[in-house]
Amino acid sequence: RIIGETTGITGVNGIITLHMRPDEVMVNASLDFEDKLSAHMVEQITAKLTQKLQHHVPSVKRVFIEAKAWTDA
């Protein structure tokens, strides 16, 4: 829900979570960003998204985001 509501993200290719310990979760997300965004804007959105995830789910300690165009394949 948090990712889907983030401005600038047009699609979610996939999400993987890894529970290292009960209080430590790693999130890997492959996301499609609006084509018009600069690299700097994607970095800002990524940083803001990481903060939101960690705020709403305190056990999320690491967030890795891949910027990749959405495809049907």
CATH dotted code for 9-67: 3.30.300
Amino acid (1-letter code) at residue 49: L
Residue 73 has pLDDT above 50, yes or no: no
Separation of alpha carbons 26 and 65, rounded Å: 11
pLDDT in tens, 2-58: 888 899 999 999 999 999 998 999 999 999 999 999 999 999 999 999 999 999 999
Domain boundaries, the chain: 9-67
Separation of alpha carbons 62 and 41, rounded Å: 20
CA angle 28, 36, 45 (to 5 degrees): 40
- pTM, two decimals, is 0.85
